[in-house]
Structure formats: structure tokens, C-alpha cells
Amino acid sequence: MNKFNKICLFLMLLPLTMQAQSDPQISQHLFSKTHYNPAATGASTYGNITLIGRHQFLGYSGAPSTGLLNFDMLAPSINSGFGLSVVYDRFGPLISYNAMVNYAYHLKTGENQHLSFGLGAGIQVHQYDASGNIYENESDPSEYYDRDTQFAPTVNFGLEYNLKNWVIGASITNIQRYFMKSDLRFPNVNYYLYTRYRFELGRYWDLIPSIAAHYDNCTVNTELNLTVQYIKLFWIGVSYRMSDLFLAESVVPMVGFNITDFVRIGYAYDYNLTQLNQYSKGSHELLLTIRFKTKGDTYKTPRFAEW
């Protein structure tokens, strides 16, 4: 590979290494938060299984794709929640897997309110798959076609305070990076802060504004969301995402339906507001949540468990 081609390859991989510094981006994250805030584990008296699939920047070869599985349930006899989170993320030749076991303790602080402390621990697997690389001189012995795999432990910590109509949370992911050498293949420490409030508009309608912020030691992303929900049937909303200095990044319309009392589906479409919009057809994201009753469940309200 000549010097010019090496420079071109570096420039092409640069955004990929920057992407690796941050946790995967998910637009419907407030519907299932345990993969980045273990304190949300068991926040509902129902057990929850959530699947999310996301494909970004349609129209680009090797564009990011993400898969998420969250499971959590409450053990009311010990005021604790237990769960599992598995995240798959791919961006070009970079592939990552993250499997976490989550635990939360819920401390009751008053009527219809509790403070939760959460801890998650697991393993990260990061791969660089060069099998699809195309080089000018394929016989050059310096060319790389193999798959490099690295393993590392991972630890998350979070807090969440829940009242009847209000929730506020904060968390830190990849805490182990405080004690590891710098490695571009693994995400930096990431910080999250969010709050959500539900205004009850009569008996059946809810208006739910929310604010979320995410810092990955490189950029600050801020998200404003407004959702209108009709009890037991559907919700519709929109998010407005900004990067550093409140630069517009994307607008995200979303819609969802509660098919039954125990199954919900959701869809979000990211419309990019940056120059990438000239080349990308946007990002699509699907959500499926299945909830189930657990032993000792006394939840009577007709609202969906995680609003």
C-alpha cells in the first residue's frame, strides 16, 4: 500500500474511531434505559423484555447498525431489580458486543416515590474485521485481512428518582476506562442525565416533555422530546437532537402502539439536519417491548408500565 493510499485509509477510518469513543446512539432510549442506567432495572412492577433494532445513515455502505436487548424485573420482597442488557453495534469494519448484568436497589422515600441505585457489570468484545477490505495491491504482505478481537470488563453505575409523574436520572458507563490505558477500540467513559415529566390532560391523554444530555468525553449531545400519549392505545412524539454549542443535528419523529396490555411496538425515524442529509436517507429504528406479570404484582393502573 503506497503512502497516499495509507493516508486515504486513515481519513476514512477516522470517523469510525471517533464513533468507537461513544456508546451506541438510540432514539427511543427513554422507553428502555437499563443498558446505560442500571438504576432503572426493576422500576416497573412488571417484568420487561425490550428489543430495539437501528440502522443509521441509509445510503452509506458500512453505515452503523445497532441491536439492543434489555430484560429487567422487580423482586419486591427485597426492593431490588435484576436484569440483563446485550448491545450489538457495527460501524464499517468495527464490531462490538456488550453484555451486562444489572442490579438496582429501590429505596422508598415517600408515597409513590423511590430513589434507586444501580450497578451493571459485564464484558465488552470489540473486533476489527478486515476481511472486507479492498487494497490496491492485494499481494502486498503488509495488507491486513484478518479479524482482531479484544476483550475488556465494563462497569456502569446510575441513580434514578421516581415520583408519580416525574423521573430524573443520571448515570456513568464504562467506568473501567478510568483505570485502563487509552484504547480507541473501546468507548470512553460516557455520562448521561435525563428528566421526564407527565402532565395528565384529563382522564385519557398525557403530555410528556423530556430532556436528555449525553457526554462522551468529546462532545455533548442534548435531546428535547415531546410525546403525546393516549392511555393503552398509542403515542406520538418528536425529538430534536443537538450537538456541541447547540448545533442542530437531527429531528426524530416517532410513533408507537400498545397492541395489547402486554405488547408494545414503536418506530422512530432520524432525519439528519447536517450536511450528511445530502447523501443519507436517514435512520430507522424499531422497538418491541413485551411485559409480563411477576410474583407479588399488585400494579392496577391501566397505564403502560414504563411511560
End-to-end CA distance of the chain: 54
CATH of residue 63: 2.40.160.40
Give the separation between CA 81 and CA 58, rounded to whole angstroms.
Answer: 37
71-90: string of b/e by CB count within 10 Å (b at 16+)? bbbbeeeeebbbbbbebbbb
Residue 186 lies in a domain: yes
Residue at 302 is within a domain: no
Residue 174 inside a domain? The answer is yes
Per-residue pLDDT for 143 more than 80?
no
State pTM to two decimals: 0.85
The answer as to whether 298 is a domain residue is no
How do residues 224-270 score in pLDDT, each as one tens digit? 999 999 987 999 999 999 998 788 999 999 999 999 989 999 999 99
When pLDDT is cut at 50, 70 and 90, the band that residue 180 belongs to is confident
Number of DSSP helices (H) and strands (E) in the chain, helices first: 1, 15
Indicate whether 306 belongs to any domain: no
Domain count, the chain: 1
Domain ranges, residue 43 = 3-135+143-293
What tens digit of pLDDT does each residue of 21-36 get?
Answer: 578 889 999 999 999 9
Task: State the pLDDT confidence band at 144, using cuts at 50, 70 and 90.
Answer: low
Structure confidence at residue 6 (pLDDT): 39
- Bridge partners (DSSP) listed for residue 228: 207, 236
